[in-house]
């Protein structure tokens, strides 16, 4: 996308424009009206951003900062409780492989049974394979 010159309304940058003398009848490239350039602040095609008033009646600075402090304290409490929840989830996740390891140490035939379960076609066959491995002990 090439920029348009605000002096002559041709697709080139303004600093590359060959029109060095002042244009007596400029045309706005934003709205197409003759009489002003596109950089004019009074152009109707330019959006006017209305700033809200900074002063809000009924609010004091101390009341506003107090609310902000309360919000930050609440956010800090939420993040610490989330971190505690994540740690307990992590501990549970780490506990599961430990339990599987202990189970396989107590019943070494379970590992062979899981390999044989791949050959089973139904859930009932797989359950029978696992139960027969457990019955050996």
pTM assigned to the model: 0.32
pLDDT recorded at residue 83:
65
DSSP assignment, residue 36? S
- Give percent of the chain above pLDDT 90: 3
Residues whose CB is less than 8 angstroms from the CB of residue 111 and which lie 6 or more positions away in sequence, other chains included: 104
pLDDT recorded at residue 124:
92
User: CA separation (Å) from 97 to 40, 103, 108, 131, 135?
Assistant: 71, 10, 15, 21, 23
pLDDT recorded at residue 112:
86
Could you identify the residue written with the tokens 């409490």?
77
């Amino acid at each position: 996308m090439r920029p348009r010159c605000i002096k002559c309304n041709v697709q080139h940058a303004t600093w590359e424009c060959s029109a060095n003398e002042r244009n007596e009848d400029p045309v706005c490239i934003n709205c197409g009206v003759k009489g002003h350039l596109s950089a004019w602040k009074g152009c109707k095609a330019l959006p006017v951003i209305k700033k809200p008033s900074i002063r809000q009646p009924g609010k004091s600075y101390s009341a506003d900062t107090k609310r902000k402090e309360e919000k930050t304290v609440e956010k800090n409490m939420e993040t610490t409780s989330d971190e505690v929840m994540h740690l307990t989830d992590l501990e549970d996740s780490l506990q599961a492989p430990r339990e599987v390891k202990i189970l396989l140490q107590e019943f070494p035939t379970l590992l062979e049974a899981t390999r044989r379960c791949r050959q089973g076609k139904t859930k009932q066959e797989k359950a029978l394979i696992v139960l027969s491995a457990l019955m050996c002990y």
